[in-house]
Structure 1
Amino acid sequence: MQIPPASTPIACDMSNARDTPEERLAEYRRLFAEALVARERTEIGIRFRFRADLGVEDWVRDLAAREKACCPFFGFDIAAEAGEVRWDAAVPDTDEARAVLEDFYALT
């Protein structure tokens, strides 16, 4: 996973997004309710683990791409294997970025 440099601004800009912040949060809630198996901390960030049900990998990849477009300080890696989809997330090693990562982890 490529983690952006610490000089990357810690800001989320959804002005070009096809959804609103409220719609995005609702989508996270739907995804977590339908497919989340577990969440955990990793050496460099966090991981969400989802059941690899039909369409879940595409959903996770699409959501991660949209999140990366508005929050470029995130590094994401999506992998599917052994019946699950893993979404790893990490941020630059700054207090501000780590606080946002904690908020992301708490979405569940």
Structure 2
Amino acid sequence: MGDHQITTDDAWVPDACTLPTAERPLRLAEFDQFFADSVRAVDRPSAQHLRLRLAGTAQVEQMARDLTARESSCCTFFTFQLSRPEPGALALDVRVPAAHVDVLDGVADRAASATGTR
């Protein structure tokens, strides 16, 4: 686990998210910890597309699958795709429709902040 500061400011979370408000700080903290521990680089191929380059371990892959499955169930506008672009590498592509670019901006900012790549 990293020693970064976890913030629970969810002002960028849209009304379309059906996760109960009381559970949002915990989910944000889970993502912040995942970003700090697992993300190696943050790329933004387009306004609607974020690519997170992850540590390539099986544990990171399982954590990514678990988090993205839970997030997809409450925020259906996200599309997550996990891939292995080369041996030992793992990438998580996150896409949103144009109406939710501001949400992807929030995710990108949190990932960059947690990894120190801002």
**What is the TM-score when the length of structure 1 is the normalising length?**
0.78
4+ runs of 1 displaced by more than 3 Å?
A: none
- Distance, in Å, in 2 between the alignment partners of 1:76 and 1:27 is 17
> Residue 99 of structure 1 corresponds to which residue in structure 2?
102
Deviation at 1:73, TM superposition (A): 0.7
Q: Percent of pairs identical after alignment?
A: 35
- Distance, in Å, in 1 between the alignment partners of 2:108 and 2:81 is 15
Q: Which has the higher contact order (CA 8 A, sep 6+)?
A: 1
**What is the TM-score when the length of structure 2 is the normalising length?**
0.72
Deviation at 1:53, TM superposition (A): 2.2
1:46 and 1:89 in contact (8 A); partners too: yes
1:76 and 1:89 in contact (8 A); partners too: yes
Deviation at 1:49, TM superposition (A): 0.9
1:35 and 1:53 in contact (8 A); partners too: no
Q: CA RMSD in A?
A: 2.0
Q: Is the counterpart of residue 28 in structure 1 residue 31 in structure 2?
A: yes
> Residue 78 of structure 1 corresponds to which residue in structure 2?
82
Q: Secondary structure at the match of 1:86?
A: strand
1:11 and 1:71 in contact (8 A); partners too: yes
> Residue 10 of structure 2 corresponds to which residue in structure 1?
none
Equivalent residue pairs, number: 95
Q: Which runs of 5+ in 2 are unaligned?
A: 1-13, 112-118
